[in-house]
Amino acid sequence: MVCNEPMQRNSHLPPRKKDPSYVRALRTGKTPWRSLVAIAAAFLVFAFITYIAMGPVATFADTALGQEPFDAANPRITLGLWVGGNLLIASMIPVAGLLQWVTFGVRPGRLSSVVGRFRWRWLAEVALIFVPLWLIFSGISLSLSPVGSPVFSPSSFVLAAVALVTIPLQAAGEEYLFRGLLMRAVGALFSRQGVAVIVAIAVTSVGFTVFHAPSTGWALTYYLFVAVCFSLLTHLTGGLEASVLAHATGNVTLTLPILFSGELDELTATSGPLLLLPMVAMGAATVLIWWRAKRRGYTPHSGDDTEPSSAVGLPVGSR
């Protein structure tokens, strides 16, 4: 005869407490000053990088490359400004992780996702959804607003290779700052999950938009919309992989046609009603990735932890 006593005893146990979501994972409930210090420190470091360090770095890089050096009095996009700026912003990946560790006592790996590392397998799944969809819409947009005749030369292929390396790092740097450290630091200030998520998304999306300094209403709407989509992807999947992939793909597809046309000075975002195309693509991709995440078990509170522990990424850590 099978004894059911253990099952009956377990049925009286209280339900397991749900793990905190990615956005509220840093909340302690006792020390809101930690969030304020992390937010202030992150903005100070980012301001130093973008407004103080970037000019001298661009000038040095241009001089070393034999280019006409960047002139802050007459600013334009030079090769040194572009490459140096990408790498400086990429430095926010370790900076954001270290700030989280110093202010909250949480290891840098926890900034990547709720499982404590960057989920490369999930990144690949997101790429299968996002990249084809984005390429279709980008092709339509490029056909409606061409950037110039492509020039296939050794120098253009070198620039393309540099872009494929530095742009994803730059996009990841912005994501680890805005959707990583800042969104979690803001979310940690609130005890209610819904309020924390809404305020964190609103604050970081506005900050992201202001950083990109949109010059038209269309550009402002675009940056605000994609920032909200990046935030939703991060919250709903419990990590930064989807937003990093989407951000990097968008920046690469914007930059490569300009590089091959030889018009580096025109490296600015498109404006006008044409921005509706990438907004539709981003919105559709967000819904599709969320649907796939739910099927795979990725939620704001948990994610697939079956990938090999030796996967490359920021170190796994806990409180």
Please provide residue 316's backbone torsions phi and psi, each rounded to the nearest 5 degrees. Answer: -70, 140
Rounded to 5°, the CA angle 15-21-25 comes to 110
- For residue 239, list its beta bridge partners: 113
* Total residues found in the chain within this entry: 319
Distance CA 117, CA 112 (A): 5
**Distance (Å, whole) CA 87 – CA 58:** 11
Question: How many beta carbons lie within 10 A of that of residue 272, not counting itself?
Answer: 11
Provide the pLDDT for residue 135.
94
The domain spans of the chain are: 20-296
The separation between CA 134 and the C-alpha centre of its own chain, rounded to angstroms, equals: 16
Q: Rounded CA gap, 169 and 30, in Å?
A: 35
pLDDT at 142: 84
pTM of model > 0.85: yes
Q: What is the pLDDT of residue 313?
A: 40
Q: Are 19 and 66 in contact (CB under 8 A)?
A: no
Model pLDDT, residue 233? 97
Please name every residue paired with 113 in a beta bridge, in sequence order, or none if there are none: 239
Environment class of 266 (CB within 10 Å of its CB; exposed 0-12, middle 13-18, buried 19+): exposed
Please give the pLDDT value at position 232.
Answer: 97
Give pLDDT tens digits along the chain (319 positions). 444 544 444 445 454 456 679 999 998 776 789 999 999 999 999 999 988 998 888 888 888 878 788 776 677 778 888 889 999 999 999 999 999 999 999 999 999 999 999 999 999 999 999 999 999 998 898 888 777 777 788 878 888 999 999 999 999 999 999 999 999 999 999 989 999 999 999 999 999 999 988 889 999 999 999 999 999 999 999 999 999 999 999 999 988 888 887 766 666 656 788 899 999 999 999 999 999 999 988 888 765 544 433 333 443 344 4
- Tell me the H-state helices in the chain: 5-11, 33-47, 54-64, 79-90, 92-104, 120-144, 154-175, 183-187, 193-211, 217-237, 241-261, 276-296
Tokens read off for 201: 């998304």
Write down the residue that tokens 């007459």 correspond to.
74
CA atoms of 271 and 226, how far apart (whole Å): 14
Residue 14 CB partners (closer than 8 Å, separation 6+): none
Can you tell me whether residue 305 is helix, strand or coil? coil
